[in-house]
Structure formats: C-alpha cells, structure tokens
Amino acid sequence: MTDPVAAVRKVFGPGRRLERELAGCELRPQQQAMAEAVAAAFTNKGRLAVEAGTGVGKSLAYLVPAAAWADRERGRVAISTYTRILQDQLVSRDTKLLTRLLPGVPRIEVAYGQENYLCRLRLHTRVTHGLFDSREQARAADALLEWSAATETGILLDAPVNLPPKLGRRVGRDSAACPRQRCPYFGECCWYKARRSWDAAAILVVNHALFFAGSGENGILPEFAAVVFDEAHRLEDAAVRHFGVQLNQGWLIGILDGLSPVSGRGLLQSLRGTGPVETLASETVACRAELAAFFDRLVTETPGPAPSRRGPTRSRRRPAEDRGPWNARRRLNGPVTPTPAVGLERLGTALSETSADLADEELAAELGGAGRWLREAAAGLRRFEEPGEENSVRWLETGPAGTTLNLTPLSVAEPLAGEVYPRLGTVVLTSATLAVADSFSFTAGRLGLQGFRFLRLDSPFDHRANSLLYVPGRMPLPSEPDYVAEAARLVGDIVAASRGRALVLFTSYEMMRRVHGLCDTGGHTALLQGEMPLPRLIEEFRTDVHSVLFATQSFWQGVDVPGQSLSCLIICRLPFEVPDDPR
Ligand code: SF4
C-alpha cells in the first residue's frame, strides 16, 4: 500500500475514489483537510488535535491514513473511542467502506473489556451448582448455555438473551477467577481467542477505559505505535477514572452476595461440609454488616446534600422518578478512618487459602477470584485512610447503585503527557467539541497537549437552511406531576409530523419507560432501549425507516444513523453535569 499522504490523495477530492465509490456523495473539503493533517501526523510521528464539526466524516478521515501507515510501516494503531456504539460502528460499517476504498487494508479487530466476554468456566460453575439469586437468572443462564455452543466470539452483549445485570457480571471473564492454562475450557476460551486476534491486528478498535487499563508494560493489549482518540472530549473522564480509585458499595456487596446471598444459593452453600465453610459464611455476613454500617456512617457524618430513600438528592427540581445522572455528592475532608479494610483483607485471604485446598477446580477458581477482589478492595480502602494525596480529592457519591467512594486526581495532564503520549509515536485526538470559546487552551491544559498541532474544521452542514428547532413554550417542569403525560403527548405530536424517523432521548431509564408507555406513536414502531441487545436495536432503527427509538445513556453520543431513519431528534431533558461534580 502507498504512504498515508498518497493514500489520502487517492481517496479524497473531486473525482477520487470516495466520490466514485459512493454515488451521490457530497465532497467535504473539511474531511479532506482533516485526512491530510492526520496523514502528516502519521508520517512525521506528530501529535495532532482536530475539532471537526458534525458531518465532517471524521472516522474515514483518520481510518484511511491510519490503515495506509499501519500497512506500510508494519506498526499497530489503536483507534480508541469512548462509547461502545462508536466502536461497533467503526468495525461494522466504516471499515467495510475503507476496504472498498483501499484494497489490501490490513487486519482490523475490535477489543472490549474482559467482562464483556463469556467465561465458559464461570457459566458452567453457575449452572452445575445452581448458583443463582432468582429463577430469572437460572433461565437466562440456560439460554446462555445454548448460545455458548454456537457463538464464535462469546461477546455477551451479542447474546440473544436479556441478561440480568448480576448474572452478566458473574459469567463474564474475570481475571481474578481465571486459572488460565489449567482451565478445562482454555482451548475454546472466547477471551484468549479474542486476545490472539488482537495480536494479529494492524488496527485495533478499543475504548478509552480499556486503552488506559490495558496498554503499556504488562497490559493485556498488544503494543501500539500510534493512537487515534476519537470522542476525545471524554478522554479526561476516562483518564480520571483510570488514575483515581472508585469503590462502589453495590459492587462490594455483589461479591459478598456471590459467596453467600441473602436469598438463593451462593458459592459457600455449594461447599457445605468442606473445611472452614461455616466460619467463612459467618465472616461474610459480618463483612456485609460492617460495609453497610461503614457506608451509612460516611453518608450521615459527611456534610452535603441529603440522599433520598431512593438514592440521590432531595430536590424539587430533581424528582424521584427522574434521577438520571444526578447523584448526591459530598466532599470528604481528609482521611477516612476506620474502614472495613481489615475485615475484607482477612476474609479475602481466608477465601484464597480455602480455594487452594479445594478439589473442585471450578469452585476453587470462583472462590479464589472473590478472595482476590476483596483483598484489592481492602488495598483501595487503605488509600482513603492515608493522609497526603494533596493532588486528589476524596468524595462520596450516592446514587441508585449505592454509595461510591472516590479518590480523584485534580488533573490528569501530567500522567497523560508524562506516561501515556511518550509511549506512542503518533497521537491524534479528535471530537466535534474540543475548543472552548474558539480556543484549545483549556483542553490543552486539561489533557497535557504539549507539542500538539491544533486544527478546527467547521461542520459542512448548513444547519440554518436545513434544520428546524422547536422548543415548546409551555411545558410543566419535570418535577411536576403532569410532566410525563405532557411529554408523551408532545412526542406523539412530533413523531406524527415527522412520520416517525425519530430518536427520543432521556436522561433516565425510568422517565424513558414511562413516556414510552404513554406515548401514541401513530402506528410507527416504537423501539425501547433495553428490549433487545444494543446492536440489534440500532439495526432495527436503521432498517425500519419510520420507527421511533426511545433511548437513554449510550445513545447520547457516538450514534450515527445516516439516511432518513434519524430525521428528528427529540431531547426531553438536557444531560448537563452538575456543578458539584469534582471530575
Ligand atoms: S480460560 Fe479463563 S476466561 Fe477462559 S473459560 Fe477458562 S476461566 Fe474462563
């Protein structure tokens, strides 16, 4: 293949391959300018940040030079996105077009975090020992078992089963519970098969969280020579999570429930009659009580907004039925002592020791995994006990998933500039929103973008001439009782006018379900997020042109639905972060 600059010249511009390949495609000078800048960055091992407005066609503008460079230089490129939706779009759609534009495109693979891959050992352990909290879990596990015989990839989100969340966490791959070569399913393991395909890829599509956690020395990802961060406006969020500590009460309780649930059957019940199981069970109960008391004490003793019984803040403007992303946050002034670290550490060690003596390898792996997580949680809690950490803020967040203890770095510019970028030859950041008040200086400061070239490209769309903005003049506040009925009526009127073809976005699942339940879409198919796996939902929305999709969370960004299917976007409430978010 030719070099990146020549490849860009062949693809973009009047009469070139892109125009010939896509009949009726409008040339976008901004896309060509971006592709040329990215090609120059690859050629010169440079650093580039590009703000490219909606419709520029960013993906192709970086994929063409990245593919040409990877093929010619035999270097591996990471394309990192924030959302899984964009990851999937890149692999399923954009790379197909790329292959038509550049014959001989090198191998492109997608990588998700380990918990997204089915662990056959964990699934069999659950089914064999009946380790379920409910009948719903048992039914879903049976369906998974059937699917597991046929799946090539083992990617859980692609399974034709609506997985109860707790079960998903317990059958996904868990490094702490994986005996690797000693596992009886090692030869057919979905995770290790995926890892082999990543090693063979020239371009690997990852997400920011996985990129930070998995790259570098001892990381699970292969080595990269270059990276393109798409959706770079969320890079700081992902970096803050990676360099900070988060300990969620629900996650910890979930581990203890897996051992000995309040109802249903846990690991320890399966081991009855073996060694010190009774002691472990009573220590698990004690740990759960200690954790609950610890988090309760933190919430009641730390000044801040009062959490409601349903989790987040009591606020007239934030009704119980629409908590959405707004949780109660409190700053912790100084170290937190005492914590339940000692109890968790003791139980974790006892579990690991017991697992080493177990003859049943399946149960031993699960028990050892739980032990390791508890010891890691104890180590995390100790970070909150220590003084220092001047460059971080300790804080609590109370929401529907329980309370989360956070240790958040005030800035990630230093580790990004000092540890992450220097590992790579070429670094490209792109997003539709990187500049603030026409300047990159804020973003450059937050993300440590020293030595970067900056480029701004406007949207090629004439929004003023081609779009219509409607803001209803009289709507009840979301806190008022008639808001849901009025929102449903209004959405019904709008989709009647747009003949379906609409995406309706919410900031909470509950509000989404209630409006969907009341809304008359006039015979147009009403699709609801959560009713089917995400990739299928998007495909249905694309192919059923007049359908209406009610969605939240993952649909706020990264979704690209070309053509008529997405002609109307209805935003029921803007998803602003609250000013007390320390991130
Ligand atoms: S090798 Fe590890 S991840 Fe794979 S099936 Fe076995 S335990 Fe699960």
3-state SS, 254-271, equals: HHHHHHCCCCCCCHHHHC
The domain total for the chain is 2
Specify if 497 maps to a domain.
Answer: yes
State the pLDDT at residue 134. 86
Residue 24 lies in a domain: yes
Write the residue with the smallest CA distance to atom 4 of ligand 1. Answer: 189
How many angstroms separate the CA atoms of 112 and 132, rounded? Answer: 26
3-class DSSP assignment, residue 487: helix
| Alpha-carbon torsion (21, 22, 26, 28), positive or negative | negative
pLDDT at 307 over 60: no
Q: Is the CB of 194 under 6 A from ligand 1?
A: no
Q: Do residues 567 and 428 share a domain?
A: no
Between residues 329 and 206, the one the model is more confident about: 206
Residues 477 and 535 in one domain: yes
Q: Which of 413, 432, 457 marks a domain boundary?
A: 457
**CB 323 near ligand 1, within 6 Å:** no
* 352 within domain boundaries: no
Say yes or no: 538 and 475 in one domain.
yes
The whole-number pLDDT of residue 534 equals 79
Q: Give the CATH number for residue 505.
A: 3.40.50.300
Residues 560, 430 share a domain: no
Q: Name the pLDDT band for 7 (thresholds 50, 70, 90).
A: very high
Q: Are residues 103 and 205 in the same domain?
A: yes
Say whether pLDDT at 200 is over 60: yes
Residue from 422, 426, 456, 428 nearest 441 by CA: 456
191 lines ligand 1 (CB under 6 A): yes
Question: Where does the pLDDT of residue 317 fall: very low under 50, low under 70, confident under 90, or very high at 90 and above?
Answer: very low
Give the residue numbers spanning the domain of 442. 4-107+201-225+424-457
Give phi and psi for 374, each to the nearest 5.
-65, -35
Q: Please indicate whether residue 493 or residue 507 has the higher confidence score (pLDDT).
A: 493
Residue of 113, 147, 123 lying closest to 533 (CA atoms): 147
ipTM higher than the 0.95 cut: yes
| One domain, residues 567 and 474 | yes
* Same domain, residue pair 94 and 28: yes
Asked if the structure places residue 53 within a domain, the reply is: yes
Model pLDDT for residues 247-298, shown as the tens digit of each residue: 999 999 989 998 987 777 788 888 876 667 888 999 999 999 999 999 999 9
- pLDDT for residue 425: 92
Place 320 in a pLDDT band, splitting at 50, 70 and 90: very low
Band of pLDDT at residue 311, cut at 50, 70 and 90:
very low
Q: Which of 399, 433, 457 is the last residue of a domain?
A: 457
| One domain for residues 520 and 561 | yes
If you measure from the C-alpha of residue 194 to the centroid of ligand 1, how many angstroms do you get, rounded to a whole number? 12
Pocket test for ligand 1, best of 121, 170, 182, 195 (most atoms within 8 A of CB): 121
12 with 54, same domain? yes
Q: Is 121 in the pocket of ligand 1 (CB under 6 A)?
A: yes
pLDDT class of 578 with cuts at 50, 70, 90: low
Task: Kindly give the distance from the C-alpha atom of residue 146 to the centroid of ligand 1, in angstroms, as a whole number.
Answer: 18
Q: Are 64 and 100 in contact (CB under 8 A)?
A: no
Residue 74, exposed/middle/buried by CB under 10 A (0-12, 13-18, 19+)? exposed
Mean pLDDT over residues 399-413, rounded? 90
Q: In this structure, is residue 288 part of a structural domain?
A: no
pLDDT digits (tens, 9 = 90+) for 340-362: 999 999 999 999 999 988 888 88
Q: Which of 397-406, 434-443, 516-525 has the lowest mean pLDDT?
A: 397-406
pLDDT in tens, 232-256: 999 999 999 999 999 999 999 989 9
Give the Cα separation of 278 and 144 in Å (integer): 32
Q: Which residues contact 472 (CB under 8 A, 6 or more apart)?
A: 490
- In 3-state terms the chain splits into helix, strand, coil percentages (rounded to 5) of 50, 15, 35
Q: Are residues 439 and 496 in the same domain?
A: no
Structure tokens that stand for 262 in this block: 């309040």
> For the chain, what is the mean pLDDT?
89
What strands lie across the sheet with 392-399, from one edge to the other?
245-248, 402-409, 392-399, 328-332
